[in-house]
Structure 1
Amino acid sequence: MPLTDKECRNAKPTGADYQLSDGGGLSLVVRAKGTKLWRYEGRLEGRKIKFSIGNYPEYGLAEARKLLEAVRVLIQKGRHPEEALEYADAKRMILEGRALAEVDEANEQKAKAVTAEEEAAARAQRMTFAEAASRYKAEWVDHNWKHPDKGFSPARLHLLPKLGDMALEDIDVPAIRDLLLDVRERRGVQAALHAHGWASRILDYAAEHLWCKHNPAKLIKPARIGTKGKRTRWLKAHEIRRYLVGLYQADCYRGYKLALHLLLMLALRKNELVSANWSEFDLEAGEWLIPAGRMKARREHRVFLPKQAIEMLQELKRLGGGSEWVMPMPSNKLRPMHGNNLNGAHAAAITAAAIEDCTIHDHRHTASTHLREMGHMPEVVEAALSHAIPGIAGVYAHAQYKEQRLAMLQSWADFLDLIMNEKTVLQATFRKIA
């Protein structure tokens, strides 16, 4: 006989488990300790199964019978009711009064979603590093980097040749570590650190999009690859001579040659020159005031110009064709050029001079070293380089050392002319005719 609500409510523990049948395989089990639960007993593909539908009184008699219908639907489709994905949702939907057909349709949609996720996971396992790198560049780098192709070059040069064809799931820490150590051996610490940064970015993006499970590059600390360190490279006198001769003999725009010579002469950073506006100059007074916003230290910097620098700036003004910028873009006089425009001329000069490991920024180290060797006061040298000077001397450095700085830079410009115009090179002012 079917149970009644009163029988369910009044069923008492007897010291041993017993059950009251409601028919159709549904029973109320009364435990020895007094707890009660609904149980289904039946067969699935010929096998006897038992399944706990839910606790009483959390689920009353009417609710238990509704849940029994959901269980039967699953069994008819050959599915065990304990499949949490289906039964948990079915239980909720049945109790909300939704039709069994709707419950079954929802279960099928869930099953399809699971299959789709499994297929996506299988596809992800087949994605290669090259594919992930290409998507990262197209979807992020190209939209957010000012110079995406140039920025991406470490990945293209150092990562793709060895990792490109590997599936993301096959890339592990030893593979990344061995690659980075090889780059360090061949190209130096800086190149290896750049390669590590790009490997980490690409694999982070891949993990974020579930193309791989984790990022092995993150487990490699940059410090284990090496540290950048502070550069101390400076050119000796004979190297300066070879550099300047190679520079002026290079097949490139005249303005690039003058700019690189000025950077060496005035010990400036390249962006301080290429972004300069003529409004900053008083060529008659021989002074140039660089605004604080364009200085690394965020304080204005006054440059006292030797006569050679004034001549070269006047020539740059003629080359600029009326532009307000000292170094306008060749293709657009209304905009200043980028500092990287000078890299090609510098590379040509050091190649012609057979000089290794020298960057444009090393011109500052070169000037600083030679000026100290010439006997100029360290405070004057530091003021010319716009370095912070400790103590009270730093407060008045720009005004206090005006005459000394001009005399120092004039002697340095004369020195550069002297070593460049040796008779073995050319019996004339080489800079003016090359």
Structure 2
Amino acid sequence: MARQAKPLTDTAIKALKPKADRYRVSDTSGLLLEVMPSGSKIWRYRYQLHGVRQPSLTIGPYPEISLAAARKQRDEWAALVARGESPKRAVQAAKAEKLNTVAAFAAEWLAEQLPGKSASYQKTMQRIMDKDVLPWLGGMPLADVKPADVLELCDRIKSRGSPKMALLSRNVLKRMYDYAIARQMVESNPAAALVARFIASEESRTRVLSASEIGQVLRAVYTSDIRRPLKLALHLLAITMVRKTELTAARWDEIDMDAGIWDIPAERMKKDQPHRVYLSRQAKELLQELHSLSGRSVYLFPSSRGTEDRPISHSTLNQAVRALSLDVQHFVLHDFRRTASTHLHEMGHPSDAIEKTLAHKIVGIKGVYNRAQYAEQRQTILQAWADFVQAQIDGAKVVPLFRSA
């Protein structure tokens, strides 16, 4: 005959002392008290369903949940088991019902997302929710929100002259619904159905990332789940100032690591003129790691599909950026070049040398007579730019950049 557990008492519970390892003490009918090394005590319920042992369910901490309350919860779950029903599913359903509205779920989501973030980030997120999202959508059931509801919210924000805030609100909702989908609270994301550029946009030819946005983009790259070579590619694209296709089709025989030079042949340049990139210290570090990952290929970024040695598709980096769900308005990869030019001009670097670094043709009569290549100035410019970008990434001290992922 199986040995019956002796029912617990409050006196016996209070006498339980922590040990080096956590241990469990049984009450009756599957109720357990787990004593942690820290001294805290947690009620749990252990049961079988259809003859199969199930993971124990947590009831909560003692003494916040008394012995009597723990037994009451055990009895309720035991009744479900007796009917062949899963108490775990009942717990999930109760939680879903509790978090049924946008407002209730948003509160839990923010409690999960905000700790550890900067004060300005927390303030912005809370302001978006309190000023716009919750007054308009807060009372709606989470699963009932449709793209039209999100669009109407964005239109209301735009009507007061705040298109950027409208887009940011859409992005916040998109991230919140991604979180809800992952936790099986809803099946679709109403914000994801709205294309960002239809909410608010800047002209592509005028978009320049601020210093903080540079850091935001690249920190998002390094903390994402995209493949490590693609992370290195996006960082290299930012600091070498080349065009995307010039990087994605790059070959190892174009690069002289000892001399710190990358010579791009004319046939891969937009203007059919060869272009030399002077490698910064950071670029060389990225290339060294990249070579350890893809050095067997003739390409810096070989395709992972098929057996043929060929570079990644020209759209691969665009797809990687779209996967980041950035809260940076209307960002495209070509913005890196315009951003570099703008900040370098503001730093006081000579315009002609910057244009040469970008492989731009110097126009007008000045271009006809100016045959200078500005080698030393271009070296200085690319190192200064790589240092500037690194400073923006390091500003938040979020992630080590050169550790393998």
Provide TM-score, normalisation by structure 2: 0.47
Task: Select the structure of larger CA radius of gyration.
Answer: 1
Larger RCO of the pair (alpha carbons < 8 Å, separation 6+): 2
Structure with the higher helix share, 1 or 2: 1
